[in-house]
Amino acid sequence: MKLGLLLLAMSSAFANSFYVTISGLGGEPDYDTRFTGWAQELNKTFQAAGDAKAQAFIGKDATLEKVRAAFDGIAKSAKPDDTLVVVLIGHGTFDGLEYKFNIPGPDLSSVELAALMDKVPAKRQLLVNTTSASGGAMAALRRQDRVVITATRAGTEKNATLFARYFVEALRDAAADTDKNEVISALEAFKYADQKTAKFYETQKRLATEHAILEDTGKGEGVRAPSAENGQGLLAARFPLLRLGAAQVAAKDPEKLKLLAKKEEVESQIDKLKYQKAAMDVADYRRQLGALVLELAKVQAELDK
């Protein structure tokens, strides 16, 4: 591994992860119960993560004043190497021009949310907007180095969504870790939740009223199926959302954490190389891939000791 990459991996080993979960108004008891339950479970999962600094705003506590104060606090504490994850659960509205997240008192607009996140110096950011009409927030929230996931592909999909249910499930189901590296990435969680949501409508023989999208280049409209062909998904694939098993244990050991960060960086380089494959000479691609796979095996051997 090149010195620059090694230093990046080592510095990220000591970075913090800030999680903010906001559960908005349900409008009726059934939705209040659902939204509260999903938000509480998600926050509990984040709190259990090794380096997590998690907080949740649920029900009457999810006011604009408290949300602003939380982001102000994070902006003062976070550093460029840190990570910010924000999840919205509830109902959203879109009037053709502006998206708003329904919370007690004044609603939170996509424009203000973008401004709050922009003030946080953490370079790597993830926003998961699981609300109805959430696709209408994409234009305001996309930014370089930020992964944006919305439960709907447009602001016109206004029915209550189920995406949050399956996104929460993704973080407690080892099956979401499709590459079996003991890390559930933002991309893996997105794919898991999207597939489960689609399966629900299919099983219930109902017309799907939500179609999740992902954008992580800072300049696209978001896509249903991120891939090397459409250029979406690379940052999300390299965004560790939750570690499992031995990886979670290693994250709590300072020496193992250095190796874990190194492993994740090598895996990121492999993902990036795969996205570049179509434009590369075959022999050069195989040479670089072989070297990275060998490096990954060495790091894994050290972790397994």
- Other CB atoms within 10 Å distance of the CB of residue 113: 23
CB-count exposure of residue 124 (10 Å: 0-12, 13-18, 19+) = buried
User: Which of 167, 140, 154, 138 has its CA nearest to residue 210?
Assistant: 154
Average pLDDT (187-209) is 97
Number of H-type helices and E-type strands within the chain: 11, 11
Distance CA 259, CA 105 (A): 46
Beta strands in 206-266 (DSSP E): 213-215, 240-243
Question: Residue 174 above 70 pLDDT?
Answer: yes
> Would the pLDDT of 246 be above 70?
no
pLDDT for the residue numbered 76: 96
Average pLDDT over residues 78-103: 96
Length of the chain as a residue count: 305
Whether the full predicted model's pTM is greater than 0.85, yes or no, is: no
Domains present along the chain, CATH in parentheses? 15-245 (3.40.50.1460), 247-304 (no CATH)
pLDDT surpasses 60 at 24: yes
State the CB neighbour count (10 A cutoff) for residue 79: 12
Q: Could you read off the pLDDT of 144-166 as tens digits, one per residue? A: 999 999 999 999 999 999 999 99
Rounded distance between C-alpha atoms, residue 142 and residue 137, angstroms: 9
d(CA 220, CA 214): 9
